Chains A and B, each alone.
Chain A
């Protein structure tokens, strides 16, 4: 059955957005990522204009992350204190990032810098997560040595002011730490035009040393607020949110997020990290192919990266 989308100005088989929503919602509930890095290119592939695809994806992530945050909150996997600090840092970082794009555009070659940063970030994060989680699954010794190695860094973190205990995560950090790293992710996410879940999750796991299951719930919590802001701004300034497409996507993604949460609970932290690392690496390879293979069209719609 086909439905006409009033803002995208195209007709789509409803099974496509519902199916895509289900798959990406599943990843969202499992790994605490918004899934924009998968959903937006897929929607474009199915004929949705780039600007509408990105804006509408934000709208459906609001639903999927609400559903996922709620499911994780029920089992005590959302650290609201940490989430709010990361969010505050992320909002400031986002504003800085938008200025950063202007500077890059003024320098010329903005697209080149953005694409290279994106590929490098995805590649480094994916590779590091993959190697680290495989190693920690195989040898406990490696983890112990690593912890010893990182104790110097940890000692430095302990010297920072405004130390506070994050009960849900079971860690003690300076309040500046989530603010600074949240800001850093916010800057990169704004420059790359993505939600930043795939960067926030590794920051929480490796720098803030939070347990993986709390990471997923807390990441979804801060993604929810980011996407509320983005959806509203996109609807207000660019008129590019397609409500009907968002409803079709969220029909799938809200259920997907719940199913993902249930699956996630059955997997160990290391297993979740390995799967996320694989997905991030697959996306990296796909982007590298897109960048190096001759495109079928040498002209494309304006808007979006």
Chain B
């Protein structure tokens, strides 16, 4: 209903302008008409580009010892009458996983290594309606919206044919969803009209399984099966304090880190041994 009303309002604005130009009927009048149309066009475009905004409640998530994930709320305004798609992703990268298969028809074990290129390690997608109902295939592929679009975009090896690619991509998505770094939802974005615009809002979980790194929130305004506007926001997940120092030492100073780990374990073992000797002399 809302969509219809907006379309009607847009149509009447344009019709008024056309009537006026017919009445003028002179050269200066034609120039005025062109200027009028252009200015209306610019006002329209300017308005719509100013409409879509995206703000995440956290732009920086600090990972300390007590970090157990977070929640992420994304809010903004959009033109009335558009559908919305919100995508949270990590930069594209490379994944290597082990494929399990039957050996000798009886035993399940690792049988091959599956390599995926141009794939995001994290992918959360929320939309007001089913993606395939509101976006054309071309637009899904262009903006990588939805699992089928990801499948068409990713390079996977070894896969013999498209059927095998689909099978292993579905397994990949299942693996990622179980690891809580891939998810999709439909209808969880709440939209409320205010002053001729729509305010949208979604509250999602940010699982602790999402590793430190840079993430992008992209909001797409969708109309007539096309993306008409996008807005972006960035999120940085970063280790801080002792967590950061330990992770850095493990990565950059392996020898010292190994020696400290061994020494601490030896000291703990002896320490507890001594405690038991003092406390449990009877044994």
Chain A positions near chain B (C-beta within 8 angstroms): 2-4, 6-7, 9-11, 47, 59-60, 62-71, 74, 109, 111-112, 115, 228, 231-237, 239, 241-244, 246-247, 250-251, 254-255, 257-258, 261-262, 265, 290-295, 297-302
Contacts and interface: CB of A to CB of B under 8 A. Distances in A.
Nearest to B178: A297
Contacts of A302: 96-98, 113
Residue among A247, A292, A297 with max Cβ neighbours from chain B (10 Å)? A297
A260 B172 CA distance: 43
Given A47-B209, A302-B98, 15 more contacts: A6-B239, A7-B246, A11-B208, A66-B268, A71-B276, A74-B277, A112-B107, A231-B258, A232-B259, A233-B258, A235-B261, A236-B255, A239-B254, A244-B246, A254-B268
B66 A3 contact: yes
Contacts of B208: 4, 10-11
B99 interface: yes
B8 interface: no
A244 B276 CA distance: 24
Given A2-B66, A255-B272, A232 B171 contact: no
Contacts of B64: 4
17 contacts: A4-B65, A4-B66, A4-B208, A6-B239, A6-B243, A6-B246, A47-B209, A63-B264, A231-B261, A231-B262, A239-B250, A239-B254, A244-B65, A257-B272, A295-B100, A298-B101, A299-B97
The contact size tier of chain B is 35 or more
B67 A297 contact: no
A297 B209 contact: no
Residue among B113, B172, B271, B273 with max Cβ neighbours from chain A (10 Å)? B273
Contacts of B168: 299
A64 B269 contact: yes
A62 B243 contact: no
B112 to A, nearest CB: 10
Which A-B residue pairs are the 10 nearest by beta carbons?
A: A66-B269, A235-B258, A70-B273, A62-B265, A254-B272, A63-B265, A6-B247, A67-B269, A232-B258, A11-B208
Contacts of B66: 2-4
Residue among A68, A247, A258, A293 with max Cβ neighbours from chain B (10 Å)? A258
B260 interface: yes
Residue among B99, B104, B258 with max Cβ neighbours from chain A (10 Å)? B258
Nearest to B175: A299
A4 B63 contact: yes
A235 B257 CA distance: 7
B9 interface: no
A47 B208 CA distance: 11
A294 B211 CA distance: 30
Contact of B103 (A7, A112, A293, A297): A112
A243 B269 contact: no
A4 B266 contact: no
A235 B250 contact: yes
Interface string B144-160: 00000000000000000
A65 B243 CA distance: 27
B195 interface: no
Contacts of B212: 9
Nearest to B102: A294
Interface in B157-207: 168, 171-172, 174-175, 178
Nearest to B242: A6
B19 interface: no
A298 B101 CA distance: 7
Contacts of A294: 108
B143 interface: no
B205 to A, nearest CB: 13
A239 B251 CA distance: 6
Contacts of A234: 258
Contact of B265 (A7, A244, A246, A298): A246
Contacts of A63: 264-266, 268-269, 272
Contact of A250 (B99, B254, B259, B265): B265
B40 interface: no
Contacts of B272: 63, 67, 254-255, 257-258
Contact of B270 (A70, A244, A262, A290): A70
B283 interface: yes
Given A66-B269, A254-B268, A295-B100, A4 B67 contact: yes
B114 interface: yes
B46 interface: no
B250 A243 contact: yes
B110 interface: yes
A15 to B, nearest CB: 14
A299 B107 contact: no
